[in-house]
Amino acid sequence: IRIAGIRGIQGVVRKTVNDELRATIWEPQHMDKIVPSLLFNMQKTEDLEGRIGPPASPSGEKEENPAVLAENCFRELLARATYGNMSNAVRPVFAHLGHHKLWDPNEFAVHCFKIIMYSIQAQYSHHVIQEILAHLDSCKRDSPRVRAGIIQVLLEAVAIAAKGSIGPTVLEVFNTLLKHLSLSVDFELGNTRGDHSHAALSAPSKDNDERIVQNAIIQTIGFFGSNLPDYQRSEIMMFIMGKVPVFGVTSQTLDTSELGDLGTRRIQIMLLRSLLMVTSGYNAKSIASVLSAPFLDPLLSTSLMEDSELRQLVLEILHNLIDRHDNRAKLRGIR
């Protein structure tokens, strides 16, 4: 029965090529039924890692497996999606994963979005990334492990999109990730703002979970930054540095007034770790251009603080920027 139903959906999808269904099938009321049905059948697969690339062959006995058939149908559907209807095809995936609590653990979620990123046309990759960022924003009050699961999915999507064109979402990705990094530190310290104080996460286990979120964000920032061309990476470095709170300097982009000294220190460490990841492997054409006053002044101001961890991070960032011939590796063994 399941196979017959999936074949029926597959027939409807294939009729969209040259039929009046082409316009109506992408409407939300239809996608909200088609996509969850396919995902439910895909969940029955026993080998998630084996089919993240091209679709399986349509012939052979594997075709009678509902999970394989549903996945092939899902790929066909996504391959026909255009920019205007991409959201209607992707949003039911978020609803299904949330309803069935599939963000933690998130193996199936990662599998789904690998299929999406490999199946859609390359020029629409940035649109899927925007949808993931929007969903992350909508889940900012969810448990840390759910947010970490979404961030890991974002990392996988960025890893695939980085091979092509990520589009105009570069600054949006970093802005959203840094915002959630600040929010995670806020949760970890148990100082949620405004009327949301009931959502404070103060238990040790919650604190550890927030560290998982923070590490996932930094890993994503580092991977994304390392795949950017140098001219964009320098812009991102300035963008991150502009968010690092420096005592005595009013930050226009990040409010740390309610975090206290401990919270401000945590934010500084997290942002500098993110900056360290972005500067890793950066090869500046001109030292003068990368060590400009707007970037260097707040960085060196941070190096004057008493905190040894902050000073070490600043020195490592400077090493990444100045050492263009990997001399640090040669000198590492010298005492």
Label each residue of 235-267 as H, E or C.
Answer: HHHHHHHCCCCCCCCCCCCCCCCCCHHHHHHHH
CB atoms within 10 A of CB 279: 24
- Give the residue numbers spanning the domain of 245: 171-192+208-334
In this predicted model, what pLDDT tens digit does every residue of 202-239 receive, in sequence order? 455 666 789 999 999 999 988 888 888 877 888 889 98
pLDDT at 284: 74
Q: What is the mean pLDDT of the chain?
A: 81
Say how far apart CA 136 and CA 118 lie, in whole Å.
21
Is 253 part of any domain? Answer: yes
Is 201 part of any domain? Answer: no
Token pair 């859609």: residue: 120
Which has more confidence, 226 or 201? 226
Which has more confidence, 165 or 35? 35
pLDDT at 264: 85
Is 126 part of any domain? Answer: no
Which has more confidence, 188 or 253? 188
Say how far apart CA 19 and CA 183 lie, in whole Å.
48
What residue type is assigned to position 92 of the chain?
A: P
Which has more confidence, 114 or 260? 114
Here the tokens at position 96 are: 């299904």
Is 68 part of any domain? Answer: no
Q: Model-level pTM? A: 0.82
Is 317 part of any domain? Answer: yes
DSSP string, 79-139: HT--GGGHHHHHHHHHHHHHHTT-SSS-HHHHHHHHHHHHHS-GGGHHHHHHHHHHHHHHT
Is 295 part of any domain? Answer: yes
Is 155 part of any domain? Answer: no
Say how far apart CA 79 and CA 117 lie, in whole Å.
10
Overall domain count for the chain: 1
Token pair 């998130």: residue: 106
Is 307 part of any domain? Answer: yes
In this predicted model, what pLDDT tens digit does every residue of 282-304 receive, in sequence order? 877 777 777 888 898 989 988 88
**Mean pLDDT of the region 321-334:** 76
**Mean pLDDT of the region 254-261:** 61
